Amino acid sequence: MKQFFLMGAGLIMASTIQAFIPPRLDTQLIHQKIDSLILEKDIIQFKSDFFSSLIYLNDSIGYYNPEGTLHLFELNFNRNPVSVKKLSSSKYHGHNFKRYLFIYDSEIYSAGGEGLFNTFSGILKFDRTLNEWLLLRLSGFPKMSSKINAAWLNGDSLNVILTIPSNNSESYLYGKIDLKTRTYLNIRKLENLNRADVERIGGYVVHESQHFLILQIRLETKCRYILFNKETREEISTTFFKEVPCIDGKSAVYAKNDFIYYRDSNGNLDSVQLSENIIYQKKGLIQNEESSDTKINYWMLSIVLFTILVIALFKSLKTKLLTSLAKYSFPNTSSEHDELISELEQLLLASRGATLVGASMDEILKISQYASDTIRAKRSAYIKAINKRGVLRIIRVRSEKDKRYFEYKIE
């Protein structure tokens, strides 16, 4: 670990990491300014939910959306003192406690929530033109979903865990929302889900980086911090955060790449690289990610491969059968074979220059009484033997009347 004191000469070092450090906040002043902008002051639980309701566009601009309301305030940290501006016009308050508040492509979103004995299973986007939160229309999103239990942003995808009511029980789905195309992809149904673990992700986020969420769980006398890896979907407890007290605005916890940081109220900065050496507990939230659509594709591929195998086997057996039939199409002795072919040649000489349909050819070859597979095998064998002798030449051509059938030209 390395400690830095961000005062005096230490400010030179601070400038190199300023983009990664949340600004030092005077929460009391911010609270006073927010109170001056609204009438229903009692609905905002500032002390308990401020940090989990605050998101940063960058190190200069932040947005505060108090839990249970649609109020949205813009905080400008470049101003001294900090300026607070109310963006929203709505006075609504209701079921967006424990929602996931996030920024994507410089736009502000709110996913899920609960309250007033109800739950919300949708995504809201703040419209800066109307100064209102609007419901985001999603393609393929399960209509039967009653709640977004957890959500986290990873790249262009919003990962969600949904509650699906079923009779007297509930089931859970894990899916992803592509925020570019606004389409939902179901990954799979979740079994044996620990609901308490999942719901920790919503409403407790006090910092978000590209790879991690930092969750702050308030206990009676202290706070517990959990890292959530957005890519591996693991909750990580570290010795580094074990003795860190609840943040107060001047103090902060944050992450950058594979480093985690704690700044205390006096400006002292402590950091450590995330490694197995400081991890004392790791819990996977979701295992074995596999799209249900992918499973369907696996089944379809299996069916296609099985069908191809059956067809190939059938053709192989058919070839062997025809070969076997051809083998026994002639008499046993060479003289008898030559005598039979000579007899057939004499019969065909009368039709020389003509083109015969299959039935007429079979009558001349004296094979019309057999089953169709046997007829084809004997006909092929006889024509091959006759053409080999060179007395006659039999050419198979497509029928001009019906291209599905063949005719036999005698030359």
The 10s digit of each residue's pLDDT in 218-261 is 888 899 999 999 999 999 999 999 999 999 999 999 999 899 99
Please give the Cα distance from 349 to 131 (Å, whole number).
96
Spell 168-181 as b/e; 16+ CB within 10 A means b.
eeeebbbbbbbbee
pLDDT, position 7: 39
- Angular region, 360: left φ>0, alpha ψ -120 to 50, beta rest: alpha
Question: How many C-beta neighbours within 10 Å does residue 225 have?
Answer: 23
More confident residue, 325 or 13: 325
**221 lies in the same domain as 85:** yes
Q: What is the mean pLDDT of residues 196-214?
A: 83
The structure tokens listed for 148 are: 């977004």
Q: What is the mean pLDDT of residues 361-386?
A: 83
Angle at alpha carbon of residue 362, lines to 361 and 368, rounded to 5°: 160
61-64, strands of its sheet edge to edge: 54-56, 61-64, 73-76, 83-86
More confident residue, 15 or 323: 323
Whole-structure pTM value = 0.66
pLDDT at 200 over 90: no
User: Domain holding 352: CATH number?
Assistant: 1.10.10
**35 lies in the same domain as 154:** yes
Residue ending a domain, choose from 280, 300, 327: 327
Please give the Cα distance from 8 to 321 (Å, whole number).
95
More confident residue, 4 or 359: 359
Range of 358's domain?
A: 330-410
Are 187 and 209 in contact, with CB atoms under 8 Å apart?
no
Nearest CA-CA partner of 136 in 117, 109, 176: 109
Residue ending a domain, choose from 271, 289, 307: 289
Nearest CA-CA partner of 174 in 155, 193, 196: 193
**63 lies in the same domain as 187:** yes
Q: What is the mean pLDDT of residues 325-330?
A: 50
Q: What is the mean pLDDT of residues 256-275?
A: 94
In the chain, the number of structural domains is: 3
Please give the Cα distance from 364 to 37 (Å, whole number).
105
Indicate if the alpha-carbon torsion angle 46, 52, 55, 56 is positive or negative.
positive
Please give the Cα distance from 286 to 409 (Å, whole number).
71
Nearest CA-CA partner of 277 in 236, 241, 238: 238
Are 92 and 98 in contact, with CB atoms under 8 Å apart?
no
- Mean pLDDT computed over every residue of the chain: 83
pLDDT in tens, 80-122: 899 999 999 876 666 788 899 999 999 999 999 887 778 889 9
pLDDT, position 76: 96
pLDDT at 289 over 60: no
Residue ending a domain, choose from 259, 289, 319: 289
